[in-house]
Amino acid sequence: MSLISNIVGFSLFGLAARFGQLGIQKRNLFDNPGGHAISMIVFGYAGYWAYQWDQRAAVLIAQKRAEIQARREQKEAAALEVEA
C-alpha cells in the first residue's frame, strides 16, 4: 500500500470512529467539525506511523533472511569439506 492511501484510509476510519462516537451519544454529527478534524489528523498520523513501521519491518526481515541464507551456505560448505 502506498503512503497516501494508508494515511487517507486511517483518516477516514478516524472520521467514522468520530461519527460512531457522536451517534452513540445521540448528538448532532455536524455540530463540531473541529473534533472531526482532530480525529482525522490523529488517525492519519497513526496511518503514517503504521506505514513507516511496515517499511522498516520489511527491511529488517530482508536483512534477517539474507543472514540466514549466508549461514546455511556456510554450513553446507563446511559439511562438504568434512565429507571430502
List, for residues 5-32, the tens digit of each pLDDT value.
Answer: 999 999 999 999 999 999 999 999 888 8
Mean pLDDT score of the chain? 93
How high is the pLDDT of residue 60?
98
How high is the pLDDT of residue 79?
87
Sequence spans of domains, the chain: 3-83
How high is the pLDDT of residue 37?
95
How high is the pLDDT of residue 25?
94
Whether 64 and 38 have beta carbons less than 8 Å apart is answered as no
Tell whether the model's pLDDT for residue 1 goes beyond 80. no
